[in-house]
Amino acid sequence: MAGWHIGVIGGSGLYELGALEDAQVIPVGSAFGAPSSPVTMGRIGAVQFSFIARHGEGHRFSPSEVNYRANIDALKRCGVTDVLAINAIGSLREELAPGTFVVCDQIIDRTVARERSFFGEGLVAHVSLADPVCGRLAGFAARAAEAAGASVHRGGTYVAIEGPQFSTRAESHMFRALGADVIGMTAMPEARLAREAELPYAVLGMVTDYDSWRDSEAGVEADEILAVMRRNAALARTTLVALADALPAEREAVDIETVLDSAIVTPRAHWQPARLVRLDAIMARLLAQ
């Protein structure tokens, strides 16, 4: 099998990796518009990495303004095999204290104003999202974070909200009642789009605050979140080094890489050439058949 090529999407406070050897900054075009940032490509040991800053250089894009489709499409064009998202998250559980790394395994999508699919307009696909996170990649990420010295919680449900405002106290209590463990603004539609692109996806969330469900405490402030993320950025970079060290030399395929075989419901005879031009990276495997 081919080797690993990890796409990393860095969230608030993580705008560059810094640990890459032979690093090159490459502008990558997308049929879905401009990605958030150029792609920084390089190696950590024998493993290839490609990095995008989700919010752009200088944190220019709010969660609702991020071009999630272009980011995933650009990483697909770079040849990544797996995508690891690094996110700032708020805690909805007492035991998930600020500073904890949470490797989420489920997501509740409460976003409302974002492009959620590469498909439609004459070419329809319905991918399964029962398990939105790749368990194998999540396991590697958890072990790497532990090896880097982080306090790691394995598993948990991430509720993705539209933002850019933080939750009201009532909303925070509601999300706890829904069964969410952490809260953020960017895992969706990222996870949806990664699945449509047949890319295994995992979320490594860094807890920055307790959201607003602790009624006796003040609400969340953006400067406090960024301060925690800056402190954790070095630990995130060390985690990626540990991840590169831990990955098997040979990468075995997973079922996620062929989900479009059963997801596309439009017969091939009806695939419109204009749509295929835009989906040349996302559907490259099928178009080559």
Catalytic residues: 209, 211
User: 168, exposed or middle or buried, with CB in 10 Å at 0-12, 13-18, 19+?
Assistant: exposed
CB-based contact 283:257 (threshold 8 Å): no
Q: Is the dihedral of CA 144, 62, 276, 41 positive or negative?
A: negative
Closest alpha carbon to 162 in 54, 61, 63, 59: 63
Q: What is the number of alpha carbons within 13 Å of residue 206 lying toward its C-beta?
A: 28
In the numeric block, the tokens 């850019």 are attached to 164
Measured CA to CA in angstroms, residue 88 lies from 50, 134, 287 at distances of 20, 19, 37
For 285, what's the count of Cα atoms within 13 Å in the CB-facing half-sphere?
14
Which pair of structure tokens corresponds to residue 273?
Answer: 């050439």
Contact 44, 244 (CB under 8 A): yes
